[in-house]
Structure formats: C-alpha cells, structure tokens
Amino acid sequence: MPAISLSEARSARWSIGSVDIDGRVIAAPMAGVSDQPYRRLARSYGAALAVTEMVSASPDLQHSRKSRQRTTHNGERDPISVQLLGADPQHMADAARANVDRGAQIIDINLGCPTKKVCKRLVGSALMKDEPLVQKILESVVKAVSVPVTLKMRTGWDRQNKNAAVIAKMAEQAGIQALTVHGRSRECRYHGPIDYETIAWVKGTVSIPVIANGDIDSPAKAVTVLEKTGADAVMIGRAAQGQPWLLSRLNEALNNGKDPGEPDLMEKQKTTLWHLKALHEFYGAEQGIRIARKHVQWYAEKLNAPDSFRRAFNEAQTPSAQHQLLNALFEQLADQNSTDEHD
C-alpha cells in the first residue's frame, strides 16, 4: 500500500479536558447502531473513543429499557462517553449527573441529529436555531458534572444560516472541552458535499480540540480532511457499518502513514461472528435476532453476499440459525476465493 501522510506531524495522543485520548479516530454516536457490542468492537479496531448512541434526557425515559441498554458499559474500555439529547437545561443537567454516576467519563451534547423525528421536538440540530437556549444548556450541563463535556453539532440550520462558529465560541466560553462538527447543515441531512471550510472556520475560532465528521470513508480521505480542516481528530459513522476494520486502517494511516488494506476473509469472519454473538448475548435471543439483521445486512453488502443469503438471514428465527447461515456464507466466499486463485 502507498504511504499516506500528513504534511504536519501530529501526536496521536491528545486530551479532552482531563481525559487523555490515545488516537485520532473516534467512532460516532449513531442511533440504533452504537450500542455496547458495536462500541466494544470499534475500540478493538483502534477507535480512541466510541460514543454511545444518543440518550434522551427526559425524566420519563431515563429508566426505560432502551436508556438502560444504551448506558450499560460492562466490558468497555475507558474513556466512556455518553451522548445526551434534550432541550431542557435542568433535565440535561440531571441526566448528565445520572450518567456520570453510571460510569460516564465524558458527557456529549447532541446538537447534530438532523432527523425529522428529533427536530420536530426541537432538539438535536433544531436547537441551533435558538442560540440563547443552547447557551443555557451548555452552562447547565458543564456546571452539573466534574467530567469533561463535549458538543456535537452541524454547520448550521441550513445552507444560508451557518452559525457553527458562533456556537463554538459560546461553547468554549461555557466550559465545553471539545467540539465535533459534521460538515453539513441540518437541511442537508446526510446528502451533498461536506463543507470543510466551516469546519476549518470553527477550528480557527476556538482553542479547544475540534473533531471533523462527515463522509470520511477511506484512509486517504481521513488524511485529506485533517489537512483541509486542521482538526485534531476524525469521527467515523456510517462508513464503518459492516466494516469496523476500517477504523483500524484509518488509525494506521493517521498514526504511521500507511494503509494496511483490507483484512483477510478469516478475520472478517471472526469479527462478524463475534459481533453476532455479542448482540445475542447483550439483548437476549428475541431482541438480539431482530437487531442482528440490520448489522449483518451491512456486513453482507460489504462482502458482496448473494441476495439469497440476505433473505435467508432475515427469515432466521433463532440465534443458532443465524450463526449457521453466517458460517455457511463465509465457507461459500472462501471457496469462491480459492477457485478464483486457481483460474
């Protein structure tokens, strides 16, 4: 693989407040994806931090099954970062304290989620329209806990109203210790080009670490993004779905200037089977079978699995049936590789 390097040498070790971060690749908080099994897998592949999927700060939901599952950290490596979603400063402060009691070492505030379901409740990226309320939330959460508080946001509400730099400065003054900027507005959701200029603008506005996010899907892209933005790290979301080993490739490229390339089929099999088993164990058979379907479909897509496998896996009704189908797929892929090598 060709060497990939940054023009400016940077240490892989940095910090978010008092918390040391060893690496410049961070696994993004993704709703319905970044659960405990995924976070453990991301860390095993070199992610310096794996943020939880967003947890509601609503008092009515703090003790729900979903909230408990999202804030279970057994088996995870430090540091633990929990992302909170809400628009009430007191509720956000209370939720921050509760999650620190449950093991969170970093609290992340969500100003980035662009989905209609979230924004119609005037939370997530919808909050970027209300800068005074954002300031109250930031100050309330920072005062509530002794651990570092971070913020994830978009460039702005829409293409015409990019206020990320304004909120970034406000956040720094409130005591926020790091910022993640997804290089799109809320209006863009997950489509269209990434606005690196605004990420660079934010980086030049504050003295706290800035993490670049959005469509970083290769080692070369990660290097380019850090070059263009001056960011301290990259956050990887959808690109790692079905290929968590991408995190390791990015890590190697940023730290050592080399892309090790794709792992062999045996490692992919080991990883996919571990993930499947971890989902069954964490959620229990019934829920685990259902949740495993979307994760394995992402793996299947990256492996170019036949449609017949995808249909059969979605119809499987027991953990053992899912396990057997996945093993059979890898045996089929291994046979194909062997045939191709001898042709």
Residues identified as active-site = 113
CB hemisphere CA count around 326 (13 angstroms): 29
Q: Which residue has the tokens 């992340």?
A: 108
Q: Which residue has the tokens 């959620």?
A: 283
User: Which pair of tokens denotes residue 199?
Assistant: 């990420």
Pairing of strands 210-213, 19-22: unpaired
Asked whether 205 and 169 are in contact (CB, 8 A), the reply is yes
The C-alpha atoms of residue 2 and residue 297 are separated, in whole angstroms, by: 31
- The letter for the amino acid at 212 is A
User: Which pair of tokens denotes residue 22?
Assistant: 């060893």
User: Which pair of tokens denotes residue 5?
Assistant: 């390097």
User: Which pair of tokens denotes residue 54?
Assistant: 């967003």
User: How far apart, in Å, do the first and last CA atoms of the chain sit?
Assistant: 25
User: Which pair of tokens denotes residue 133?
Assistant: 């309320």
User: Which pair of tokens denotes residue 312?
Assistant: 């059969």
CB hemisphere CA count around 77 (13 angstroms): 16
